Structure 1
Amino acid sequence: MKAFAALLLVFCYVVGSSLAAWECKEAPRLYSIRQIDAGMGQVVAATRYGRPYQLSGRYWYSLGLSSLKHVSVGPAGTWGCDSSNKVYKLVGGNWKVVNGQTLQQVDAGGDGQVVGVAPTTNYSYCQRAKYACNYYGKGTLAWTGLTKPLVYVSCGKMYGCWGLDTKNRTFVAKKVNPDTCVPNAWTRVKGPTMQMIEVSTDGEVFGVTSDGKVFQRLGITDSKREGSRWKKIPMCMPISHLTYDLNHLWVVTSSGWLLQCTQEEAAPPAPPV
C-alpha cells in the first residue's frame, strides 16, 4: 500500500487553468506529518507524535527538544504551541515558553506580528511586531484581541489577515497594524467552508475544505484585498493541511504523505497564420 501511494505521489500532476498549471511530486518524506508551514524560504512541520522538524535540502531535521503540535515560521521568527496550548518561540536553537497567553494555533507569517487562536473560547489574539520579533525567552507578553472569534487565523506581510469563524466561514481583515495589532473590520468572503486557511508572505491565499479539497483565492491586489473568486486546485488525494511560499505549495494528504507542488506558466498561444 505504501509503495502504491508513493508511486501515485511521484506521478501526481495537477492541471490548472489555461494560463498556469500545478505540477506535484512527492516531497522529502516525513512520516506521520500533521501540519506544515513555510515562510522566508524556510519550511517547518509537526508530526502526529508532537515532534517539530525543519527541512534542509532533502532531509528533515529535528527542531529543538520540545514536543509541539503546531509550528509556524515567518518574519517574527519560528513559533509553536504544544498539546497543552502553551506558546513557544525558537531562540538559539531551543524552544522558549512565551508566557502570557495559551493558543491552540499560531501563525508567524504577518508583517512582524504573530497571531493565534485561544482554546475553548476561540478568541483570536495578536502579538505586536516589536515584541514578537525581539522576544528571547524572558518576561511575559501581553496579547491584543483581534475582535473576532476564530478557529483558524493566518496573516501575510502584504495584504492583511484571513480567518475562519466558528461556522468555518472565511473572513478577511484587509489590514492589521503590526505595531498596534489593531485590525480594520472583518469582511465575509463567500465561498466553500474551510477547515484551514493559509496566507503566504507575499499575500497568496489557499484553503482546505472539510472534505480535503484545495482552493486558491484569485484577484487579490492592494486595492482589492478580499480578491475576486475561488479556484479549485485538483488534487490526486484528499488534503488535510497546506502552506505556500516562493512558488512552492506544500500539501499534506489525509493519509500523511507530503506533496511539493510548483506552478508553471503556460506557453502563450501561437500567433495566427
Structure 2
Amino acid sequence: MKAVAALFLLLCCLAVSHAWRCTEAPRLFNADQVDAGMGKVVATDIYKRAYFLSGRNWYRLGTTALKHVTVGPSGTWGTSASNRVHKLVAGNFKQVNGLTMQQVDAGGDGQVVGVRPSNYLAYCLREAYALGYTGVGSVGWTYLARKLKYYSCGPLYGCWGVDTSSRVYVSKAISPTTCRTSSWTTVSGLAMKMIEVATDGNVFGVSTRGKLYQRRGISSSRREGTSWVYVPMCMSVKHVSYDLRQLWVVTTSRLLMTCTP
C-alpha cells in the first residue's frame, strides 16, 4: 500500500515540476530530514535512525538515535532527541561534550555551526575543534550574537539563517579558524522555516507554508542574491538539500524525492 501511495504522489509531482525533473529517490520510508554534501547523502527517519546512501540502497549510519544529521568538510555530525551533539568517528557517533544544539550544519569551510535549544542562540565550532575531534574531551563553541532557529553554511558565499520570526539572513563572511562573522544582511521577500546552502553556493529554502524556493543572483559581490524563484512541487515540503546538481526533497508526507535541473 505504501508503494502505491508513493507512486501516486510521485506521478503527481512529475506532472507539476516543470523546471526540475523529479523522481522518487532510493526508497527510505518515513524520511524526516536529508543532507547532501561532498558527493555524500545522509538522512534521518521519524524513528531517529540515521542513514547514508550507497548506490541505490540506504544503510544505517552508526547506532545512535539522531533527529538531524549533516555532512560536510568537517565530517558527519548530528543531534539527538536530547539535543546532544555527535560526530561520526570510526563508524559510530561519539557524543561531543559541551553545549547542546537542536540543529547543526557541517557544510561550511571546515567549521560547524549550530543553534541552541530553547533560546535559539547561534554558535560556531572552529575548524580546529571540528576537524580534530575524535570523541575525547570537550570543545569550545563561539557565540555569534544572533538568534536563529535554523543555520546553514557553504564554503563559497558565507552562511544563511532563519530567525525565530522566520526572517532570512545571510552573513557575508565567516572565518573557519576564528568563527568571526561580519555583515549580516536581511534577505526580504519570504518567511522561511529552513534554508540550506550548497557547496557550490546555491541556496534553497522551504517557506513557512511548505513551498520550495531557490535563491537566484548569488555572487561573491552580492551574496544575498537578487530574488526567490518558486520550485513547483505538488506536495508540501518539509526539508531540502542540494549537492552536485542534485536536489533532495523530503515532503511532509515523508516521501523522499530527487530532482535535477
TM-score, length-scaled by structure 2: 0.97
- Equivalent residue in structure 1 for 2:76, among 59, 75, 78: 78
Per-residue CA distance 1:157-212 (angstroms, 9 max, x = gap): 10000001110100000111111001003110001101110001111100001221
Partner of 1:270: none
Partner of 2:51: 53
Maintained 8 Å contact 1:252/1:258 = yes
Partner of 1:139: 137
Partner of 1:197: 195
Partner of 1:151: 149
Q: Secondary structure at the match of 1:173?
A: strand
Q: Secondary structure at the match of 1:175?
A: strand
Partner of 1:121: 119
* 1:1-273 equivalent positions in 2, closer than 5 A: 2=2, 3-10=4-11, 12-13=13-14, 14-16=16-18, 21-263=19-261
Q: Once the 2 structures are TM-superposed, how far is the Cα of residue 7 of structure 1 from its aligned partner?
A: 3.3
Bigger CA drift: 62-71 or 127-136? 127-136
Q: Secondary structure at the match of 1:178?
A: coil
Q: Secondary structure at the match of 1:174?
A: strand
Maintained 8 Å contact 1:37/1:242 = yes
Per-residue CA distance 1:14-71 (angstroms, 9 max, x = gap): 545xxxx211000011111111100000000111111000011110000001000000
Maintained 8 Å contact 2:12/2:234 = no
Unaligned stretches of 5+ residues in structure 1: 264-273
Bigger CA drift: 240-249 or 128-137? 128-137
In 1, Cα distance between equivalents of 2:11 and 2:240: 18
Which structure's CA Rg is the greater one? 1
In 1, Cα distance between equivalents of 2:113 and 2:189: 23
In 2, Cα distance between equivalents of 1:124 and 1:153: 8
In 1, Cα distance between equivalents of 2:74 and 2:7: 35
Aligned length: 259
Bigger CA drift: 130-139 or 116-125? 130-139
Kindly provide the amino acid, as one letter, of the partner of residue 154 in structure 1: S
TM-score, length-scaled by structure 1: 0.92
CA RMSD in angstroms comes to: 1.1
Kindly provide the amino acid, as one letter, of the partner of residue 30 in structure 1: L
Unaligned stretches of 5+ residues in structure 2: none
In 2, Cα distance between equivalents of 1:225 and 1:147: 20
Taking only the aligned residue pairs, the percentage that are identical comes to 57
Q: Secondary structure at the match of 2:76?
A: strand
Per-residue CA distance 1:64-118 (angstroms, 9 max, x = gap): 0100000000000000010000000000001011111100000000000000100
Maintained 8 Å contact 1:70/1:81 = yes
In 1, Cα distance between equivalents of 2:69 and 2:87: 9
Partner of 1:269: none
In 2, Cα distance between equivalents of 1:23 and 1:72: 25
Q: Secondary structure at the match of 2:128?
A: helix
Following TM superposition, where does structure 1 have runs of at least 4 consecutive aligned residues deviating by more than 2 angstroms? 10-16
